[in-house]
Chain A
Amino acid sequence: MVDAKKQDPRSKFPPVEGGKSRYNLTSGKYMKIWQGPQHPGITGNMSLELTVCGDEVVDCKTHVGYLHRGFEKLMERRKYIQCFPLVCRICVPEPDFNEYLFAECVEELAGIQIPERAKWLRALTLEMARLTSFLMWIGGQAGSFGMGTIGQWTVTMRDYMLDLFEELSGGRIYHMYIIPGGVRADLPEGYEGRVESTLKQIEKVLKDVELALMHNYVFKKRAKGLGIITPDMVDEYGITGPNARGSGVKRDIRKDNPYLIYDQLDFEIVTETGSDAYARTWVRMKEMYQSIDLIRQMMKKMPKEGPFFQKLPNVLHWKVPAGQTYHKSECTRGEYGFYMVSDGTELPRRVYVRGPSYTHAVTLMERLAVNTNIADTAGLMVSLHTYPPEIER
């Protein structure tokens, strides 16, 4: 519920009083509608409790918990190696960031240095995951404004990316490729060529998407001015990723705090100043092109051979030295982080996952939904690019 002080000053409706609902639902003026947890206009399994006046949203409450699988708790009862197949499930469209951060934390606590080639292969999969995830997202963004066809094109492209993942790791969705110590396998024979031809195909489709979506009167009309995140809200709400960059805030962990081999790549942080759903869409579109470029750079600069895995102590009874660490990386939605505490036993004492969707989908959504048209809530939510699985670890 929106606090009186935080309420959008443009609202023509009465403010919060004593934390209670100030809308008299029996007056006939307001109506309460649940959007989700089963609703095509909602990202994943969460729901919005909307109070509407006519078709205007006057209040929004978010409800999560439909997808809680207790990963963090499960990890406390598993050996380090057994957490590895678990973490990828925290975020379905981008499992690789979980795998990477988990591995990075374990490696730091255990003092393991991974080989150079493993770093490049990890960065490669992370960038491929970014592109794959954005391809699905843009389908959602277009679909939420009634342009389902675009989703069909891009989800096909995503499938081609999944083919590449399947070839590399043996799995389409849950890759389980980045393991503590490095990666599980080297690139298959002739992989670079197949990556390149897929990238070319995607580029072609992205051009079409640009024409059909970004230069679309309907989309512009609806997305411009929707869900404005002012730069001063960025720190207040803990906004990261394209949501912040769409408001002109130059913030990208790949640049600010380079991990893996990102300092050896040539790229600039993409920003837009529109602060609305349209600007955020542009940021993501440009980041897709950027990802394609980064993948090409990596394919060129990567050492052609060398070990890709550093031998670990026997994983069946691996006692990771006591300590704690936090690692973060820039995923499609912003700062993804893993905080790990080891007490020196075979099981992690605590693994905390910082998903960017937590702030974006809960507090930020509650704030931005007010004063929007009910038909735009779906588009607004997708423009924040949230994934409920990482809200409920």
Chain B
Amino acid sequence: MSLKDIIAPFSVWKRAFEKPYTTKKPLDERPGAARYRGFHINDMNKCIGCGTCEEICQNAAIDLVPVSKTVHGDSGLRPKIDYGRCCWCALCVDICPTSSLGMSNEYIWIDSDPEVFRFIPGHDDKPWNNSELGYRRAEGYDLLEGQRVAMPMLSFEESKKSFVEMVQGYSAEQARLEADRCIACGICVATCPAHMQVPEYIKAIRDDDMGEGLKIVYNANPLPASCGRVCSHACEYVCAVKHKGEALSIRWLKRYIIDQIYLGDYQKVLDEGEPGNGKKIAVIGSGPGGLSAAYYLSLLGYAVTIYDANDKAGGMLRYGIPEYRLPYNQIDKDVDYITSLGVEIIQNTKIGRDIPFSKIYDEFDSVFFSTGLTDPYGLDISGEDLKGVIPGLEMLDEVTKGLVPDIGSSVVVVGGGNVAMDAARTSKRYGAEVTILYRRRKEDMPADEEEIEEAQGEDCILTTQAIPLRLEKGDKTRLKLYWGKAEMVSEGPGKRPKPVLIEGSEELIECDTVITAIGQAADYSFLSEEITAKLSFKRGYVEVNEFYQTADRKIFAGGDIANPKRDAISAIANGHSAAKGIDIYLTNFRKLN
């Protein structure tokens, strides 16, 4: 011990004269730091209610509750946070795919009612709702991947020369990486017309369990090899990950599963269904709707006979979609599995022409028809009957049948749907110069985005806001097509603008062929008059109930003929619902009678 040890402590008396650290009033407000993890905020318009915040919360502090109606791509649910459980870790903010969720820098809130500490940020009125400060996910830090694994594709230079499939398919590593991006929110399931269990089969890819994947896929879709290529993928338009950049390539992941399994191995995995129950069902049309109904009916033990007018099954999948998008052997794979279950397909037999509808109606316990839209709309302009004007579907049909279409060296395709794109790109493959005329804007085109991009990539010229006026016989070429420019006129809020011809504008294209692809109507001529009288129709569609049962209880209908969505996956969903409907009709209904 020294003298210093006694004196030194007294030297700190000087501190008594320094400015105190503490504030005089303890309730003086001190705002949280700019990154403070305080009470949550949520942008109601950006949030889609995907529930990823709920999924990651390790305290179960977040509960998704309904606040509005479910709409396309939005579950209508919003996170409700229980501040008795929340640990303020902000993982929910980090993982939020839309970046709608954040945290304010507010941390003081006093109330005697414990219930108020459970609220829906952004929905319930709180003073910090518009707080600019507070925790947000930092730039350079991200828990999710927004970029899609690039799909190996043929270059446009190569693709426009042949009918080789353009999309090459994922490798195992690529598929696993792509599957890893899924956040399993299930918004895709709600959006898919067939409600396929997308997150489950994507999980099967992650687990490298293709058998499980196949089973899950077949639960809702018996045409996966085809759908994995040409589905209109409504799921991808609403995918939560899309808000971070690119949607998951759900369609191609499905294709990946199917590509991994030989047809011969299907039966080792899939359920063969119930034994025969002795009842017979007729299906008219072997498109996706008919095949789907046949598959699910045969699983339920019904003996199914499909009547089809063409020489091969598949309907529009085969005769309406070119091979570079959907190779025929893939349709065969789907069809062959369905026929292997005992479904009989009678080809080259048109009901109404070869067999009267009434005969089928009498012989079978129930009838499902899914004959599609086969009558192309005309352009309704003069000169339409000139040689060289052909409907798009007719041209695609010819190509499928192995015929070389007579299109000459220059083609104008009128229309903006998938049939128009297919016809244009097919014409390109036969060496023609192709121009696409569409009367609205590019963003109004009903064709898939990638179809439009690929058509343009293959050097098809796209001319929008163009209305065909008249056709005349050409001098050097077969035809002269006069068209006028259109301007878009607003039809009021919520409605898409209408194209109106600009008077006096007139342009000319000389071409050998004009392909019309502006839509098709249903052909009901196969039905007997008596049946036609019984059924009810609305805007060209046959009217059905939720089980796709028509006004005649024995007749069910689905696909494009009964469903304005007009795509393969909706037809498949219709077939599935109709199969359930037919089963209910043939078991419960009769008992009730």
Contacts and interface: CB of A to CB of B under 8 A. Distances in A.
Interface stretch (A78-86, A268-276, A379-387): A78-86
A167 interface: yes
Interface in A145-195: 153, 156, 159, 163, 166-171, 174, 176, 182-186, 188
A314 B180 contact: yes
A84 B89 contact: yes
Interface stretch (B52-60, B301-309, B373-381): B52-60
A314 B145 CA distance: 7
A305 B399 CA distance: 59
Interface string B547-577: 0000000000000000000000000000000
Interface stretch (A207-215, A288-296, A358-366): A207-215
Contact of A78 (B36, B58, B142): B58
B37 A208 contact: no
Given A81-B91, A82-B58, A184 B9 contact: no
Given A85-B89, A156-B21, A307-B140, A168 B35 contact: yes
A265 interface: no
A186 B4 CA distance: 46
Interface stretch (B181-189, B329-337, B360-368, B500-508): B181-189
Contacts of A167: 33-35
A220 B8 contact: no
Nearest to B59: A85
A315 B94 CA distance: 11
Contact of B145 (A85, A176, A211, A311): A311
A33 interface: no
B71 interface: no
Interface string B38-77: 0000000000000010011010000000000000000000
Given A217-B5, A220-B1, A316 B140 contact: no
Given A211-B8, A217-B6, A316-B52, A170 B1 contact: no
B143 interface: yes
B182 A182 contact: no
A78 to B, nearest CB: 5
Contact of B8 (A174, A188, A212): A212
Nearest to B93: A170
A257 interface: no
Interface string A291-326: 000000000000000011101111111000000000
B581 interface: no
A185 B138 contact: yes
B56 A215 contact: no
Contact of B103 (A170, A174, A188, A213): A170
A167 B95 CA distance: 21
B11 A314 contact: no
B169 interface: no
A38 interface: no
Interface string A70-110: 00000000110111111000000000000000000000000
A216 interface: yes
Nearest to B52: A316
Nearest to B176: A313
A232 B184 CA distance: 58
Contacts of A78: 58
Given A176-B89, A182-B141, A309-B141, A170 B33 contact: yes
Nearest to B7: A215
B35 A185 contact: yes
Contacts of B150: none
Contact of A315 (B5, B15, B143): B143
Contacts of A213: 9
Nearest to A160: B21
Nearest to A214: B8
Contacts of B35: 166-170, 185, 188
A216 B103 contact: no
Contacts of A83: 58
Interface in A315-373: 315-317
Interface in A126-159: 153, 156, 159
A314 B56 contact: no
Contacts of A220: 1, 5
Nearest to A171: B37
Interface string B158-190: 000000000000000000000011111000000
Most B Cβ at <10 Å: residue of A83, A159, A170, A176? A170
A95 B87 CA distance: 14
B438 interface: no
Contacts of B94: 184
B12 A211 contact: yes
A184 B88 contact: no
Most B Cβ at <10 Å: residue of A184, A217, A308, A314? A314
Contacts of B52: 316
A314 B1 contact: no
Given A170-B135, A186-B140, A308-B141, A85 B36 contact: no
A75 to B, nearest CB: 10
Given A309-B142, A311-B142, 10 more contacts: A82-B91, A156-B22, A171-B36, A215-B4, A217-B6, A221-B1, A307-B140, A313-B180, A316-B184, A317-B206
Interface of A: 78-79, 81-86, 153, 156, 159, 163, 166-171, 174, 176, 182-186, 188, 208, 211-213, 215-217, 220-221, 307-309, 311-317
10 contacts: A78-B58, A81-B56, A84-B89, A184-B94, A186-B138, A211-B12, A216-B8, A220-B5, A314-B180, A316-B52
